[in-house]
Amino acid sequence: MSERPANVDPTAMTAPRFPVHRIDSLAGASFKHEHLPAILAEAPMRGFFEVHAENYMGAGGPPHHALATIRHDNPVSLHGVCMSIGGPQALDKAHLARFKTVVDRYEPALVSEHLAWSTHDTTYFNDLLPLPYTEATLERVCEHIDEVQETIRRPILLENPSTYVAFQESTLSETDFIRAIAQRTGCGLLLDVNNVFVSATNHGFSALEYLADFPLSGVDEIHLAGHAEQTDDEGDLLLIDSHDGPVADAVWKLYAIVIGQCGPIPTLIEWDSNIPEWPILKAEAAAAQAILDRHASVTVRSQSHAA
Amino acid sequence: MRLEPAPPVRSSYSTAFSAALTAPSLQTPSGVVGPNGKGAEKRYNVYRNNVTVSLIEALASIYPAVQRITGLDFFRAMARFHLRETPPRSPLLFEYGRDFPDFIDRYEYARPMPWLGDVARIERAWLDSYHAADQDPLAATALAAIPADRLAKVIFQAHPATRIVRSRHAAVTIFAANRTSASPPLINAVEAEDALITRPQQEVTVRLLPPGGAVFLQSLSAAMPLGDAAAAALEACPSFDLGAAIAGMLEAGAFTAAALGDRS
């Protein structure tokens, strides 16, 4: 992880608006404005905050005030939720320009988006919708990621989706699809371990086999979140990626396996609905930090042995 | 050789998938399947539910007073009708729902509440004010520097966060009563009210304007000189109080600049 955001031109005369904060080996939490007073009442947290880019695309006002306050003391990860990278139609140029403005304004340590689509024609559906995995969709997704990365002049991290359906026309596995995207575009990956668990349950595959096949060396951020339970058409368990509760035990176990294998990776606790008081969210982030720290010390020890 | 843009990727997957999302009468799109031959109807309905519920919640977060007035079930039904008729055209959800006040005016079941659309207009203006650009408001002392005999020629610049909403009903009182946790008082709904919405720093404030105040501030916002705006307000309302109106607008932070017009 570079200490300095890639979009900062070292020859530019203007100084960055915000201090540079390292994000590697840190856990973080979704930033919710209702938590700001509680966050400011404490000593600065060791950790990062992640925000949805779209919430900071207004001209001014309290959202920018809140994010600027947080960004001053902590690294920030910028997470886009509606670029519609996985859709067949061209990206919305106006939205892309707004996205670049937020990236430039807040100098985030990480920038990410989803392997999904949310806009068709001119309608925005406000959900992360699935796509078939074919050579044709692969090509289109890569074009879109190239366009985003060229616009913001830095690589993005692409997040694996949680899905409830599949497409008959798919010819590639999700892991092959994502690996090919990373190879062709140079983008990094955001591994959402809860999404892996949700999709594995919903589609009847092994989460461990998926992770074994996932290009883990390209993962620069991890997401953890809670999910809800429903049933499918046959009455079997169907998991919903609801982000409305604590991280499930099974997801913590998968996460520990990934960190044990890869070493520390910036890890976010996502909580977007039924949002708890700040101490509860902070405690979830602290639980992730404890796992990261355990493996950081192992990594350091093994390095010093090798030296 | 110029590279042609790639042709649309068999756009069928997003066309078919999106068509049924807000149309419950349509079947699960063909080609959308569950694993190992399983059905996909309930699975596809997860997306339908996500879309509809999240957009209802987006409207509820923009229009909390309307939801409090109507109750949850009424609001959700009304919002569902609206989002099927007018889904978002922008991925910025704080821009959504601009047509909702007009929809409420037309909504059959809301007819017993003729002021409800205006309450929604105030809530929409509140959110626009919240997201507007930051600018310092005009200092209360700014007019002191201008000679008294030339005050009538002063032209004001509206603050980006300033909004005015006029209502034939007591929409401002109803709005205020339903955006606080206190139980609403008895309100004489037939009294016409005008709202001034400002955000000089970080907090949005909604004020009830005195008679003539809306005409005065709308005239000033349209770059009409102070003297002409005062005359327009007096014509609309003989009891218009110019001194109180100027003091009120400066206190509210409704403007950012005052300067003598070119025709002085």
CB contact under 8 A, B21 and A119: no
pLDDT at A44: 84
Distances (CA, A) of A70 to A13, A29, A289, B43: 25, 12, 19, 39
Interface membership of B109 toward A (CB under 8 Å): no
pLDDT at A230: 96
Rounded to 5 degrees, φ, ψ at A73 are: -100, -15
Distance from CA of A228 to the nearest CA of B (A): 12
Angle (CA) B126-B132-B135 rounded to 5° is: 120
CB contact under 8 A, A88 and B11: yes
User: Whole-angstrom Cα distance, residue A275 to residue A51?
Assistant: 14
| Nearest-by-Cβ selection for A87 from B10, B14, B43 | B14
pLDDT at A3: 41
CB A180 within 8 A of CB A136: no
| Torsion, CA B179, CA A242, CA B22, CA A174, rounded to 10 | 150
Longest CA span, chain B: 85
Q: What averages of pLDDT result for each successive group of 10 residues across chain A (307 residues)? A: 43 67 96 97 93 98 97 97 97 98 97 98 97 98 98 98 97 98 98 98 98 98 97 96 97 98 97 96 98 79 44
User: Whole-angstrom Cα distance, residue A148 to residue A167?
Assistant: 26
Interface membership of A237 toward B (CB under 8 Å): no
| Torsion, CA B217, CA B221, CA B227, CA B232, rounded to 10 | -60
| Nearest-by-Cβ selection for B14 from A88, A127, A234 | A88
User: Whole-angstrom Cα distance, residue A134 to residue B30?
Assistant: 17
CB contact under 8 A, A240 and B54: no
DSSP string, A265-281: --EEEE--SS---HHHH
CB contact under 8 A, B34 and A165: yes
How does the average pLDDT of chain B come out, rounded? 93
Q: Which chain B residue shows the shortest CA-CA distance from A144?
A: B6
Partners of A27 in the β-ladder: A267
Distances (CA, A) of A204 to B34, B97, B215: 10, 40, 65
pLDDT at A299: 55
pLDDT at A17: 84
CB contact under 8 A, B160 and A59: yes
Q: Cβ neighbours of residue B193 under 8 Å, at least 6 residues apart?
A: B167, B169, B170, B171, B172, B173, B208, B209
Crossing angle of helices A249-262 and A193-203, in 10° steps, is: 120
Kindly tell me the burial class for residue A94, based on how many C-beta atoms sit within 10 Å of its own C-beta (0-12, 13-18, 19 or more): exposed
pLDDT at B144: 86
Interface membership of B85 toward A (CB under 8 Å): no
Distance from CA of B208 to the nearest CA of A (A): 22
pLDDT at A244: 95
Interface membership of A127 toward B (CB under 8 Å): yes
Interface membership of A279 toward B (CB under 8 Å): no
Rounded to 5 degrees, φ, ψ at B4 are: -75, 145
Task: For chain A, give percent helix, strand, coil, nearest 5.
Answer: 45, 20, 40
B196-238 tens-digit pLDDT:
999 999 999 999 999 999 999 999 999 999 999 999 999 999 9
| Nearest-by-Cβ selection for B13 from A122, A167, A232 | A167
For chain B, residues with pLDDT lower than 50 are 1-2, 9, 264
Instruction: Look up residue A239 and give its two tokens.
Output: 């998991």
